Each structure stands twice: as structure tokens, then as C-alpha cells.
A = this chain, B = another copy of it.
């Protein structure tokens, strides 16, 4: 499969992402050095590695996670089109989390070495990267609040409403499409056991907020989920991406 030129980037058509000026687009298209395709379940980046690359998700679902010595796993966040991958490793050296594909994904590959010229020659793009980092931080704040202070049912509802909203906005999910996770993923995100996660998701299904299928979770009533989570989705538009 040939690579997608940035000029024809499918994300650019979405209202959710901001437009580029011509010089920005020109720079980014030279910044991009290739594409990477990864199969579901495969590791994109490994904790402890020193990757020479920075990536943006072009299509598909992935997730970031960390593990403790004894195998306990915590999923930190989910990755969707437009998300920057590997910034921590790029800016600070070693990766301290891993990244795994949830569906087949393709990533745009950027040359780390050219990041300096991005900062020096395209301050607006540098600002975008900061914006994205701040946005990621904000998501983590929300997850931390959720895991720390919400009950199991609220947590689950929050997670699914969050994933649904974000995925729809980036064009990754149509209204009745499945979020491609297993209950094990949900458990590792919420900090719960898989058994209790199952019972919790069952309650959400009984309330007809979701339906669980072999392809993942179908959100039937995202407003209802947000309500049981005590959360309101952030509806701002026009976020940047690289």
C-alpha cells in the first residue's frame, strides 16, 4: 500500500481538526517520512525503548499502557486518528510506557531529527504540539479523577462515553459501530478485576445504555452513559494535529 500524501490527508476534511496554512502543510509533508502498519495485538512501542520516531495515528485504534513487575497492567489512554504517539520518548529519551494496536492501525512516521526545525521554523506547529500535550494531560486528569473517586459503575460509564465521543468526532466510529475492546481492556483501564468489570458492564447493558458483542461494545445511549457517570462531554471543536 502506498502512503497517503499529507495534502490528501483524510483527517483534514473533518471539522474536528484545524486547517493548515500552505507552508505548514508543506513542512509537515516533508516531516513525514513514511507510514507504519500494525496488526491488532502487536506492540508499536515498547516501554524502555529509545525510538527515533514520532508518530501520528492515521487510522485505527490503539492504547498506551504500563505494567508492574508482576504483570499487573494499567491502560493509560486510548489512541485514535490525530493522536500523537511517542512524544514522551522523543522529548525526554526513553519510553516509559508501551503502545499496542487494538485494531489494524496505520501511523504516519516523523523523523525525530527534524523536530528541531519544526520548533525553529514553524512556531504555530510547535504550539500545536504543546496544545496536544496539554490536551493529553487533561484527559489523564479526567481518568485519574475517575479511577480515584468514581464507583465501578460510574467509571465504566465514563470510559465508554469518553471513548464513544472521541471516536465519533475523529470519524473512527459510526453511530452503531463497536468500540473494539475486550472486557479485559476495560478492566485494565478502570483498575478493576475482569469479573467485576463483567458484572458492572452487565448493569449498563441491563439499563440499555450499551450492548456487548463479539466485536466490542456498542454504545446505545451516550447521553445516558454520561449522566450515570456524572460527566459532561467537552464539545469544543477544531483541535490541532500534526
Interchain CB contact (< 8 A) of A133 among B68, B137, B143: B137
Interchain CB contact (< 8 A) of A147 among B66, B97, B191: B191
- Among A124-132, A207-215, A217-225, which stretch is in contact with chain B? A124-132
- Among A87-95, A106-114, A163-171, which stretch is in contact with chain B? A87-95
Interchain CB contact (< 8 A) of A148 among B135, B145, B191: B191
Sort chain A's interface into a size bin. Answer: 35 or more
Please, how many angstroms separate the alpha-carbon atoms of A206 and B225 in the complex? 44
- Name the B residues within 8 Å of A191 (CB-CB): 147-149
> Do A144 and B145 touch across chains, with their CB atoms under 8 A apart?
no
Please, how many angstroms separate the alpha-carbon atoms of A147 and B144 in the complex? 8
Complex A-B, nearest 8 residue pairs according to Cβ-Cβ distance, in ascending order = A148-B191, A133-B133, A119-B123, A140-B140, A72-B149, A74-B148, A120-B123, A74-B145
